[in-house]
Amino acid sequence: MKANDGGDWESVNCFAHTLQLAINEAFKAATSLERIAGACSELVTHFHHSTIATNALLAKQLTLPKHKVIHCCKPRWNPLYHMFARLAEQRWAVCAVLLGRAVTKHSNARNLELRDDYWRLLAEITPVLKSLATAATCGQTAVSCPVMRGLTSGGDGAYRKEGGVSGARCRR
């Protein structure tokens, strides 16, 4: 959004977009997350391709919410968060299905089971990703740019070039 034609201040990056870029870079740098994401994706794919496994998963969710696992397509980190969160929520039901030999062959289960350290990391990172997802969602509202402009300008609404980011634009 072009807010000041020919003025002496520049616009501010959209908070949600900047947050998306920063998180994407962090995911690229964290190779362990890439491995975990790959293992989780294989596990979820198993449930998406097998109606028997999906029905067994729903049957094993005795005290858990009746949810299917969520598959991730990876151009953005948000779907990865949703996949991680759902797997963390359904951990015990997923493990029970993988242990049931009537549903999953031993050789398949051995390849699909997530290691304990993967489950631990999922449990640790999911609340962090939830906070970031909330911040990114809140940052997409029309309020984010004026609020950011007010915070960075000392209250007068202008983000001056002397202390600002060159070439930044606010997008909705």
Global pTM exceeds 0.75: no
What is the rounded average pLDDT of the residues 110-133? 90
d(C-alpha 97, C-alpha 47), whole Å: 10
Q: Which position has the token pair 């616009």? A: 11
Two tokens, residue 65: 């919410």
Residue 91 has pLDDT above 60, yes or no: yes
Q: State pLDDT tens for residues 122-138.
A: 999 899 888 888 877 76
Question: Which amino acid is residue 156, in one-letter code?
Answer: D
pLDDT tens across 14-73, in order? 777 787 788 888 888 888 888 898 899 999 999 999 999 999 999 988 888 888 888 876
For 136, the 3-state DSSP assignment is: helix
Alpha helices in the chain, H assignment, sequence order: 15-29, 31-49, 51-60, 78-89, 91-99, 106-112, 116-138, 144-153
Using H for helix, E for strand and C for coil, what is the string for 19-52? Answer: HHHHHHHHHHHCHHHHHHHHHHHHHHHHHHHCHH
